[in-house]
Amino acid sequence: MKARPWPIIVLTILYLLGPVFSILVASYLMHMSPIKYLFLWLPRASYWSALSTFCLYPIAGVAIYLMKPWSYALFITITALTTYQDYAAWRAHPAVMGFPVLFGLTLINVAIVAYFALPSVRTPFFNRRLRWWESKPRYRMEIPAVLESDRGQTKCSLMNLSLGGGFIKSAKTLDTTAKSKLRFAIFNQTILVEARPVYRRARGTRGYGLEFVHTPESKQTIGRIMQGLALAGVKQSEQQNVWASFKDWVTALFRTGRGLVPEMPVYPVQNAKKTASLKTIEKNEV
C-alpha cells in the first residue's frame, strides 16, 4: 500500500481549507458576505493576524500529512495557538463572537487533539515501520518458505516480498524473541536471510509481517531479486484505484463504524519465557 490512511488524508484536506472556513465563520458572525468581509478585514488586519489566518491551518495540514515526530509536535502547537487566538478574539469582541461560538470552536480543537492522542493515530508519527506507504516496492507471490530458529522450523508461504521484508502466511504462533531466518527459493536460487516479525495479521490472510535484518551480502542478493521481479513483470502490491479506495472506506465507515482511525489493535503472542505483543495491522506491509 502506497497511500496514507483515509482519515489522515481527509483531515489534511480540511486543514488545508482552514483559511476558507475561518473566513466563512467570521463573515457569518459579521452578517456579511465572505467577499465583503475579506475586502473590509484584509486592509486593516495586522501582519500576524493575516499570517495566522492564511498560514497556520495549512501548515498544520502539511504536518499531519507528513506524519513525522516533529510534525506531531508542530500540529499540537498550532492547535494550541489557534485555540488561544479564538479565546483572545472572544475577549476582544464578545458581542460579535459570543461564548457559544468560542465553546464550539474549543470543543472541536479538543476533540481533534484527543483523536490524535489515540495510540493507533499517534504511533505512526513516531514509528517509521508503521508508515507502510514509505515502504519499498513490494511484489506479490505465493511460494513455499521456512522460518528457521533455535526452536525449530515453521513451514509457511511467502505472500509478498520487498527489499526490507515480506509477509508470510502462517496460522502458527511465532516466538518473536527468538532469532529467525527465512529460507525460500526463487529464480533457481535459495535465499536465507535473518528476519524478525514486526506485526501479526489476525484477519484475512493470517500471518506475520517480517523485517529483514540484512548483512551487506543479503541486501545485495535481495536487491538483485527485486530487479529480477521487476524485469519479469511481477505485479506489485499496489493500492487500488483512489476513488474506489475512498468509496470502500466511506462505505465501511457508515456501515460498520470502522475506518475512523487507522486500526492497530494489539494481538498477544506467547513464547516460552514471557508474553510479548505485536501490533496487528491489517496491511501486508513492514
CATH code, domain with 207: 2.40.10.220
Q: What pLDDT is recorded for position 265?
A: 36
Mean pLDDT of 121-136: 76
Identify the domain boundary among 126, 144, 164: 126
Over 90: is that where the pLDDT of 244 sits? no
Please tell me the distance from the alpha carbon of residue 205 to that of residue 216, in angstroms, as a whole number: 31
For the ranges 31-40, 117-126, 168-177, 238-247, which has the lowest average pLDDT? 238-247
Please tell me the distance from the alpha carbon of residue 231 to that of residue 89, in angstroms, as a whole number: 61
Q: Are residues 76 and 195 in the same domain?
A: no
Locate cell 506475520: which residue? 208
Q: What pLDDT is recorded for position 2?
A: 58
Per-residue confidence band for 284, with pLDDT thresholds at 50, 70 and 90 = very low
Q: Are residues 76 and 192 in the same domain?
A: no
Q: Are residues 181 and 139 in the same domain?
A: yes
Mean pLDDT of 168-177: 81
For the chain, what is the mean pLDDT?
Answer: 83
Question: pLDDT tens-digit profile of 13-49?
Answer: 999 999 999 999 999 998 999 999 999 998 888 888 8
Find the helix or strand (DSSP H, E) in which 95 lies: helix 94-97
Range of the domain at 219: 135-237+259-279
Question: Is 254 within a domain?
Answer: no
Q: Are residues 149 and 268 in the same domain?
A: yes
Per-residue confidence band for 266, with pLDDT thresholds at 50, 70 and 90 = very low
Locate cell 479538543: which residue? 110
Question: Is 285 within a domain?
Answer: no
Give me the helix-helix angle, 34-41 and 18-29, nearest 10°.
90
pTM above 0.95, yes or no: no
Number of domains in the chain: 2
Q: How far apart are the first and last CA of the chain?
A: 10
Question: Is 250 within a domain?
Answer: no
Over 90: is that where the pLDDT of 268 sits? no
For residue 185, what are the β-bridge partners? 190
Q: Are residues 267 and 159 in the same domain?
A: yes
Q: Are residues 270 and 157 in the same domain?
A: yes
Q: Are residues 82 and 155 in the same domain?
A: no
Question: pLDDT tens-digit profile of 59-108?
Answer: 999 999 998 999 999 999 999 999 999 999 899 888 888 899 999 999 99
Percent of the residues in the chain that have a pLDDT greater than 90, as a whole number: 43
Per-residue three-class SS string for 10-57: HHHHHHHCHHHHHHHHHHHHCCCCHHHHHHHHHHHCCHHHHHHHHHHH
Please tell me the distance from the alpha carbon of residue 163 to that of residue 218, in angstroms, as a whole number: 10
For residues 6 and 110, the model is more confident at 110
Residues whose CB falls within 8 Å of the CB of residue 205, separated by 6 or more in sequence, listed in order: 159, 167, 169, 284
Identify the domain boundary among 106, 126, 146: 126
Per-residue confidence band for 135, with pLDDT thresholds at 50, 70 and 90 = low
C-alpha cell at 226: 527485486
Q: What pLDDT is recorded for position 19?
A: 93
Return the ∠ at Cα 39 (arms to 34 and 41), rounded to 5°. 90
